[in-house]
Amino acid sequence: MSGTHKKLGARHKARKRAVDFLFEAEARDLDPVDLATERAELSGKDDSVAPVAPYTVTVVTGVAENLDRLDEVIRSHLQDWTLERLPAVDRAILRIAVWELFHATDVPPVVAVDEAVELAKQLSTDESPGFVNGILGQVVLVAPQVRSAAAATSRRTETACGESNDAGS
């Protein structure tokens, strides 16, 4: 690692673990949320099982709940390529990054993209970091509209449920 690269923090480790769970769940045809939850519970009972960060479970759950939409977005940015032909690890990395771009409002878009590229460098092929960066560079352009639409939808839901809405109407 070069000296200019920032120290990889807890969120990075949580994302890497989320990639592992998504990859394993796909390979073994398991539900990724069940897998992450079971592994988290097991880590509490068995010291030989690495602890599972809450953010890992959040990411895996978010990806699983939005999988069709995430895959649709990724597919729409693949030129002359199919989602199924991508290495499974790249699919997992892209799904996590797109989920963060659209739903993790506490993660700046540049961080979501940088983290995905870093994970691709660590876990995938030599071509993957550039490929992942290229796809996410396009997705990041639509992310603000998706985020604000999602925020508007959740505000409407809260208002419809009779909760106070300080945003005003």
- Average pLDDT score over the chain: 88
Which pLDDT does position 167 carry in this prediction?
Answer: 42
Task: Name residue, tokens 């992310």.
Answer: 143
- Find how far residue 162's CA is from the centre of its chain: 32
Model confidence pLDDT, tens digit, residues 83-115: 999 999 999 999 999 999 999 989 999 999 999
Burial code of 89-113, b = ≥16 C-beta within 10 A, e = fewer? Answer: bbbbbbbbbbbbbbbbeebebebbb
Beta-carbon contacts of 114 under 8 Å, excluding residues fewer than 6 positions away, are none
**Contact between 91 and 119 (Cβ < 8 Å):** no
* pLDDT tens by residue, 42-53: 999 999 999 999
More confident residue, 160 or 136: 136
pTM metric for this prediction: 0.85
| DSSP helix, strand, coil percent of the chain (3-state; round to 5) | 70, 0, 30
Are 11 and 112 spatial neighbours (Cβ–Cβ below 8 Å)? no
**pLDDT tens-digit readout, 137-154:** 999 998 888 888 777 776
